[in-house]
Amino acid sequence: MLKGKHIILGVTGSIAAYKAATLTRLLVKEGASVKVVMTPLAKEFITPLTMATLSKSPIMVDFYNPENGDWNSHVDLGLWADLYLIAPASANTIGKMAGGIADNLLLTTYLSAKCPVMVAPAMDLDMYKHPATQRNLKVLQSFGNIIIEPESGELASGLVGKGRMEEPERIVSFITAYFASQVDFKGKKVVVTAGPTYEKIDPVRFIGNYSSGKMGLAIAEELAGRGAEVVLVCGPVNLKTHHPAIRRVDVESAAQMYEVTSREFANSDVAVLSAAVADFTPKEKADHKIKRGKDDLVLELLPTKDIAAELGKMKNASQLLVGFALETNDEEVNALSKMQRKNLDMIVLNSLNDKGAGFGVDTNKVTIMDKAGNRTVYELKTKLEVAKDIVDQIASRL
């Protein structure tokens, strides 16, 4: 199941380090290439010789290997890996990861990794329950790291509670399921719109909105990570894309966004319209800066092209069209009406009345509805987590 996958296994100073031996053996058995990075303290719990034998690869602990004169490059490791699994992850290492501390090879590799990161905590129950540890785990999740929850049971201290590292067999099952889910969009082309549009008044002024583009870019990254060919039609935002499967087209106005989106949708499987597109644009656009005068300035506005409605007319039976609704009142009624009027298959609703949702923040709280009458309400999550929920819903309808 993991044939051809490159996995870095990070082992920290925890009594659960003995489980890393079984974990390594199982990963190799599944076909993965495994490189093990250990903290200096981890060597007190399990020997590098054991891990080297099972992984069939030299163990890395220090930046410099005096035996052969080679440097262990954390940058090269970060580029090599398809997954960085830190198991067991001690409270100490989790705290350093959350704080960006890089005082050993395991941590510098973490900061350099461009692949998904999974963290399997292992510690005593009071350490795990401590507010600092819980805060640090939430910080890691906000980075997009995946936490493999520990089990409840008898701990090394003799106490009984949550803190035992998940069993190696279950971790491997989790990893195989994760990689299987990452290709569920293979062969699919998806158009995603993101960010605001700017409608020029004159060379220095425009009509716009507060959209940061964070939600749309998170959706694009999630889709690309799961095998899709993604065309991201992006309004003016200060965010970068990372996945090589994303082809980004930057636009400014609603007219430009419509032109690109409608052209790309013609041969796409899915469109996700998360951009906050201006509803109106100035009828006249001054070619010079408008000066202040004594009289009132009156702008005549014309409606912009309704991208969702136009794509709804274009859509064929095999295509899926997903819209967004940001509402301030009568949220569900307005969202359902929008879905029906514009021939959408699914709509993602969020409300400015929900704290932590909307523009400019890293979290969102959504309700997803479809034309079949299904309705799923989600709690407040990071936008990375919300992106996964939205893409999961799309996948279930393809």
Q: Are the beta carbons of 314 and 264 closer than 8 angstroms?
A: no
Strand order across the beta sheet in which 189-194 lies: 246-250, 229-234, 189-194, 270-273, 320-327, 346-351, 367-370, 375-377
Q: Give the helix/strand (H/E) hosting 307.
A: helix 307-314
Q: How far apart are CA 367 and CA 331, in angstroms?
A: 10
Q: Which of 65, 92, 209, 334 is catalytic?
A: 209
Consult the annotation and say whether 324 binds a ligand: yes
> Rounded CA gap, 276 and 238, in Å?
15
DSSP, collapsed to helix, strand or coil, labels residue 195 as coil
Distance CA 335, CA 82 (A): 39
Q: Residue 153, class by beta-carbon neighbours within 10 Å (0-12 exposed, 13-18 middle, 19+ buried)?
A: exposed
- Residue 159 burial (10 A CB sphere; 0-12, 13-18, 19+): exposed
Contact assessment for residue 93 and residue 119, using Cβ atoms and an 8 Å cutoff: no
Residue 389 counted as an annotated binding residue: no
> Cis peptide leading into 150, omega within 30 of 0?
no
Closest CA to 386 of 360, 355, 350: 350
What amino acid occupies position 372? A
Contact indicator for 88, 20 with CB cutoff of 8 Å: yes
Residue 316 known to be catalytic: no
Distance (Å, whole) CA 95 – CA 127: 12
For residue 344, the Cα-to-chain-centroid distance in whole angstroms is 24
- The answer to whether 338 is a known ligand-binding residue is yes
In 10 A of CB 217, how many CB atoms? 25
Per the annotation, does 3 bind a ligand?
no
**All residues at 6 or more sequence positions from 147 whose CB lies less than 8 Å from its CB, including other chains:** 118, 119, 121, 137, 140, 141
Residues with active-site annotation: 209
Residue numbering of the annotated binding site for CTP? 279, 289, 324, 338, 342
